[in-house]
Every structure is written in C-alpha cells, then in structure tokens.
Chains A and B, each alone.
Chain A
Amino acid sequence: MNDLPRPSTIFLAAITTLVAVLLYSPLFVPIVSSFFTISHGDVDWSSPTLSTYWALAENHDILTALRTTLIVGLCTVVLSVVSGTLLALYYHGRRSGRSILQFIIFLPFLMPPIISGLALLIFFREIGLERSLLTVVIGHTVFVLAIVYRTVLMRLQSMSRTLVEASYDLGATGWQTFWRIILPNLSSAMVGGAVLAFALSFDETMITILVTGTQSTLPVRLWAMMRLGFSPDINALVALILMFTVLLCVLAARFLIPRQMATERS
C-alpha cells in the first residue's frame, strides 16, 4: 500500500490532518485561554498570566468535587479489578452459561448510559438504598466491569497452558500456581484495566447525574456550572485535567499495548 500515487497521498494526508485538528481543537482552546484573562467575553491576548490557576486553588466547590471523583474512582477501580479478574478466571475455560453471563456483563457497556443509569436509579429506589456515593460507585463499577473483565480475559487466553501444567508438574499446589504463575502473568493486564477503569470512572457523567445524591463528581459539577456559563478558572482546571488524562493514556498504553503486540507477532 506504500506505492500510492502522490495526489491521493496528499489528499489522504490532508484529511487526516483536518481530522487531527478537529479532534484537538476542543482540547487546545481551553488550555491556551487558561493562560490569559478574559474580559467582556473576549480573551485578552496581550498579557499571559497564571492567575486562573491561583483562582482555581481557591475554588472549594471544584476541589471538593475533585476529591469526590478521586474517591469514587479508587473505589471503582478496586471493586471492578477484583470482581472483573475473578469473573475472568471463572469464565475462562468454562462453557456452561458463560456466553449468557458474559452478555449480561457487557450489557451496561453496550446500552446507552442513560438507560443503565435509569435502571439503577429505579433499582436503588425499589430496594430502598438512598442515593449517595455508594450508589455512584456501584453504578461506575457496573459500567466499567466489562472493560476490566475483557482485558484480563484476553491476557488469560493468550497465556500458555504449559506454564500452568509445568507448575503442577513441579509439584506446586493449585493455590501456589495461582499466586506464583497466574497472578504475576495477569498483573500488567490488571493494572492496564485498572487505569482504563479509573479513566472511565473519572469521566463518567450520565450515570452519575442519575444516581448521585447530594455530592457530585467533577464532570457533574462542571456540567451544572457550564449550563450557566462559568468563570475562567475552569480553563485552568481543564488544562490540568487534560494533562492528567494524557498521563493516564500513556500509562494504559504502557501496560496494555506492548505485550499484546508482542504476542500477536509471535
């Protein structure tokens, strides 16, 4: 495919550049404007400043929401990684009922979040569970479980059976084999899944809006603020969050991509 005629290559490269510009413009606009002050709805380009960042540090609403988001994210990661890994271990190499249960696990991910969120909202009401951070964590876990499950299951399937057999041959118990062979082999998939789970939880808005009580996570808080239009310190927040997400992406890629590509090649 490398011997394309020049004009079509240029055309394709141009479209790709356009797509990249389109995708990145909503990310760069807030970052760039975070370094300038805004007066009368117009950006004052003459004097770059860090004042928006200082204002952010004093915005208690936002900081509280950020803390809530981190707490929810960490709880979600722990719950989804533990249960996702156990589910993957359970379904791996088992046939009966696997496809149905697997389908159920994937449902919240396939369905629009508004449906999953509303279903959970009614469910919590019916079982008498007050809306709180607990319901948010449950909602997030249900939502990200499929990703963690799939990540771990894929690693499990690419793992050579001979490793486990060798371990048994050398006299290890099932328990020892699990701790010494299976778990270490799964660990990078688990970490990768955890990073993805955290990133998804960090950004999850629709389910959260529906099942949260009085405490709101950062995206929900921002959503509420944006409907009124908001202060410039949000641009600073945006810039910081974007840097944080890039970091998460790099981490996820580090743990998930290299090994998978290596196994595909061999």
Chain B
Amino acid sequence: MSAGVTTQPAERRLSLLVTVLAFALPVIFVLVPLAIFLVYSFFSVDQGTIVYTPTLGNYVRFFTDPIFLPVFWNTIVLCVSVAVICILLAYPAAYFLTTLIGRWRYALLMLLLVPLLMSYVIKIYAIRSILGLNGFLNKALVAIGILQQPSTLFVFNMNAILLTLSLLLIPFAILPIFLSLERIPQTLLRASDDLGASGLQTFLRITLPLSLPGVASAASFVFVLAIGDFLTPQMVGGISGFTFGRILYSQFGTAYNWPFGAALSVALAIVVICAILIGERFGRSRGTSV
C-alpha cells in the first residue's frame, strides 16, 4: 500500500491521517501514560496531596520497610509455583492432543481453550465456592474418607490463591506447549524409532528437548498473568493471602499514596519484563531452527 499510485487527493488525505494516527495513537495513549506513571514514582505525598518534587524516597521505602520485600518475594514464589503446576498439567494434555489425528486434535484443543474466554470474575467466584468450607471439594474429600471433617485448607489463604490461579491459567500453558510439540517433524521421531530407540528414549532425547521452548514461553505467560492479578488474591486470599498485587492496589484505594503505588508498580513491571525476556530467550533458542 505504501508503493503504487498515490495521486488521488482523497488517498493522500487518508494516508496523512493514517500517518498521524499511526504515531499519535500509541504515543499518546500508551507511551505518555506509562512515562507519567514512571515519573510519578519519584514524587511523594504529604497529607493527601501529591508533592511534585523528585525524590527516591518511595524506592528507599520499598527496600527498607520490612513489609514490602517479603510480600514481593512470596508473591514471586507463589507465581512460580502456579507456573510449575500449570505446566505439569498442561504438558501431558498438550502431548495427548498431538497424538490425536485430524479434526479431533483441533476440536479438543478448542475445548480446552474455550474456558479462557469465559468471564474471569465468575470463574473465580465458582472456584471459591468449590474450594469453600461447604464446597464441592471438601464434601468429596469427606465422602471418600480422606478427611474426617471439612477443612479450611483451601479457602481464604495462600493455598486458595495458588489453586485458583492455576485453574484459571492452565489454558495459557496448553497452547504454547501444543504449538511447539506440533512443530516437531514426524521424520525425526521415525528416524529415532528406526535407529532402535524405545518410546521413552525418543521422548526424552527428541520430543522433550524440542518442546522446551514452548514450555519456557508457557511458563513466562502464566507467571506474568499470575503476578499481575489482584482480583484472585482479593477474592480468595482472605486476610492471610496477601500478595503484592493487593498491596499495590491498596496504595491507590485506601492508602491514597499514588506515588508509592507507582513505585511498587515499577518493581512489578521490572519482574514482568524479566520474565518475558527469559521466556523469549529460551522460547526462541531452539524450536524455530528445526
């Protein structure tokens, strides 16, 4: 569209409009807000009003106050665990999908991805009711005889957040792993078979290494989504399930300390960027060259 005949005035006007839009839109609505946000993290608050003098105070507070770093660290550990659980469940499922032939493969993939588009808030609510004291899980465990009486192990604590986030994010792990498994050339597997490798050997030496890039991007997806979420911890975490996202949110609501909240967000953003870069780095290393 860039080349070709551009003599019509209407077309020239359109292309000018598009050019302006192409630059203005991302810059005004994405870059400028993020830049202002970053600048805000260097401001401070005095008696409910924002003081526009640059200071490193927010960052100093983040690193020195005994509250924030432990929660930050716990949240990272929590989200890594979520990623691990999701991959342990998603990998076999994705592998199973690639063993299916033709239409079934995509029908089942679709079936496993559809829950992604279902209302997030509603799913959290339903999971909370399943995990709750009167919930389905407790009733089932009591019925089987594993528990004597309903347990509070799964509701309003860190376990609840871990389980809920894992349940919500599994589809995000299935897709990248499935795509990387599907990309492995059948000829490699047949060659391995011809050379006398057992099914397990072929899996460990060929399939698994070649699918690791998919696993890496799946892990980074899930981690990023988990760490950015504050709805789930808020709804199923109770008082003991305090995550970084909730602290961050409270700075904008109840505490009304926007600059400090912005500084916390910058910390969160740095972790997210690292996770994305690591996922990219390992997600690209091998898979695509095959």
Chain A residues within 8 Å of B, Cβ to Cβ: 1-2, 4-5, 8-9, 11-13, 15-16, 18-20, 22-27, 29-30, 41-42, 83, 86-87, 89-94, 97, 101, 104-105, 107-108, 110-116, 118-123, 126, 138, 141-142, 145, 164, 168, 173-175, 177-178, 182, 199, 202-203, 205-206, 210, 219, 222-223, 226-227, 238, 241-242, 245-246, 248-249, 252-253, 257
Residues of B within 8 A of A104 (CB): 26-27, 30-31
Q: Is B22 an interface residue (CB 8 A)?
A: yes
Instruction: List A contacts of B228 (CB < 8 A).
Output: 111-115
Select B8's contact among A27, A119, A122, A174, beta carbons within 8 Å.
A174
10 contacts between A and B (CB under 8 A): A1-B98, A8-B199, A83-B25, A114-B268, A164-B1, A174-B4, A199-B117, A203-B120, A227-B234, A249-B110
- Indicate if the CB atoms of A210 and B121 lie closer than 8 Å: no
A182/B1 in contact, CB under 8 A: yes
Query: A residues within 8 A CB of B167?
Result: 22-23, 26
Is A4's CB under 8 angstroms from B199's CB?
Answer: yes
Name the B residues within 8 Å of A245 (CB-CB): 117-119
Selected from A93, A112, A202, the residue in CB contact (under 8 A) with B2 is: A93
A87 contacts B21, C-beta separation under 8 Å: yes
Q: By CB atoms of chain A within 10 A, which of B3, B119, B134, B261 has the most?
A: B119
Evaluate whether A114 and B249 lie within 8 angstroms (CB atoms) in the complex, with A174-B4, A203-B120 already known.
yes
Q: Is the CB of A112 within 8 A of B224?
A: yes
The dominant DSSP class at the A interface is helix
Contact A11 B92 (CB under 8 A): yes
Interface of B (DSSP majority class):
helix
Contacting pair B96 A13 (CB below 8 A): yes
What A residues does B117 contact at CB under 8 A? 199, 203, 245, 248-249, 252
Residues on A with beta carbons closer than 8 Å to the beta carbon of B130 = 25-26, 29
In Å, the complex CA distance between A17 and B213 comes to 25
Q: How far is the CA of A16 from the CA of B225 in the complex (A)?
A: 23
Kindly report which residue of chain A lies nearest to residue B230, judged by CB atoms. Answer: A114
> Which residue in A114, A138, A206 is a CB contact (below 8 Å) of B29?
A138
Contact of B99 among A4, A19, A22, A24 (CB under 8 A): A4
Residues of A within 8 A of B37 (CB): 115, 118-119, 122-123
Q: Which residues does chain A contribute within 8 Å of B134, judged by CB atoms? A: 41-42
Q: For B171, what are the chain A residues with a Cβ–Cβ distance below 8 Å?
A: 23
Cα distance, A249 to B230, chains bound together (Å): 26
On whether the beta carbons of A222 and B25 are closer than 8 Å, the reply is no
Give the residue of B110, B127, B276 whose beta carbon is less than 8 angstroms from that of A110: B276
Choose among A83, A107, A110, A173 the residue that contacts B5 (Cβ–Cβ < 8 A). Answer: A173
Q: In the complex, A19 Cα to B172 Cα: how many Å?
A: 13
In-complex Cβ contact of B265 among A11, A89, A108, A118 (8 A)? A118
